[in-house]
Amino acid sequence: MATITVNSLLDKAATLIQDATNVRWPTSELLGWLNDGQREVVLHKPEAFVKNQSLALVAGKTKQAVPADGVMLIDVTCNLGAAGATPGRSIRMTSREVLDAQKPTWHSDANTLGYIQHFIYDQRDPKNFYVYPKAPDTAWTIEIVYSAAPNDCSTGGTIQIDDIYANALLDYVLYRTYSKDAEYAANAQLAVAHYQAFASALGIKTQSQLSRGPMMSGQQPVAIPAQ
């Protein structure tokens, strides 16, 4: 839960860059970098801003999408019924290869179960996923967990992502401030040092985005029983 105020982070940054009156680096500029930092954190750590909510399926379709603010799907948990208020049968992940081999016509087959049994996800298409059987022709809702893009925060409010990332956000703001004066060798070195601290706090590695998503949550694709 985010409780750390934007003003406290910006004040810390202003103190560290010795610009307490925000002459060289205006508050609006620091705020912009703070918001950039939030998006950078979520890019590398999708779990930094996660939403767990109901999703109304597109009727009669296998292909579904995360909400408009979604960055990537994390998990699909269970059926919630027509009204979205009744937790029901759990939903497990399977692979498209299994479905294509066992049920070549799964995209068009009728849903004779009346609920969703499995979901299919490809990390190369992070905002979309598929359900099996296809969604009923009438209203149907499931529960999903997804990583969302944080809203821009504003002075007087709190940061949008979890408090645990506050120090990383501060390092990101300092990296951007010193990058502004990178023609000075000392500032260029400080910029690099703060970005390294930011990266270290997040455990950023090459292709880190590929280490997230349903496949890394401990789930394994399962075979498809006959409907």
Q: pLDDT tens-digit profile of 136-148?
A: 999 999 999 999 9
Q: Where are the domains of the chain?
A: 6-46+151-210, 50-148
Mean pLDDT on 100-111: 96
Q: For residue 210, is pLDDT > 70?
A: no
Q: Confidence band (pLDDT; 50, 70, 90) for 190?
A: very high
Q: What is the pLDDT of residue 126?
A: 95
Q: What is the pLDDT of residue 83?
A: 93
**CB 111 within 8 Å of CB 133:** yes
Q: What is the pLDDT of residue 193?
A: 93
Mean pLDDT on 24-50: 94
Query: 219: Cβ–Cβ under 8 A, 6 or more apart, which residues?
Result: 75, 92, 93
Q: How far is CA 91 from CA 61, 88, 94, 116, 221, in A?
A: 16, 9, 10, 7, 12
Cα 160 to chain centroid, rounded:
12
Computed over every residue of the chain, the mean pLDDT equals: 90
Q: How far is CA 20 from CA 26, 27, 30, 178, in A?
A: 10, 10, 12, 15
Q: What is the pLDDT of residue 206?
A: 35
3-state secondary structure of 135: coil
Comparing 14 with 226, the larger pLDDT belongs to 14
**CB 78 within 8 Å of CB 86:** no
Q: pLDDT tens-digit profile of 54-91?
A: 999 999 999 999 999 999 999 999 999 999 999 999 99
Report d(CA 114, CA 137) in Å as an integer. 9
Mean pLDDT on 30-52: 95
- The pTM is what? 0.82
Report d(CA 12, CA 56) in Å as an integer. 43
* Tokens 């109304």, residue located: 56
114 φ/ψ sector (left φ>0, alpha ψ -120 to 50, else beta): left
Q: What is the pLDDT of residue 182?
A: 64
CA-wise closest residue to 146 among 222, 219, 56, 48: 48
**CB 71 within 8 Å of CB 42:** yes
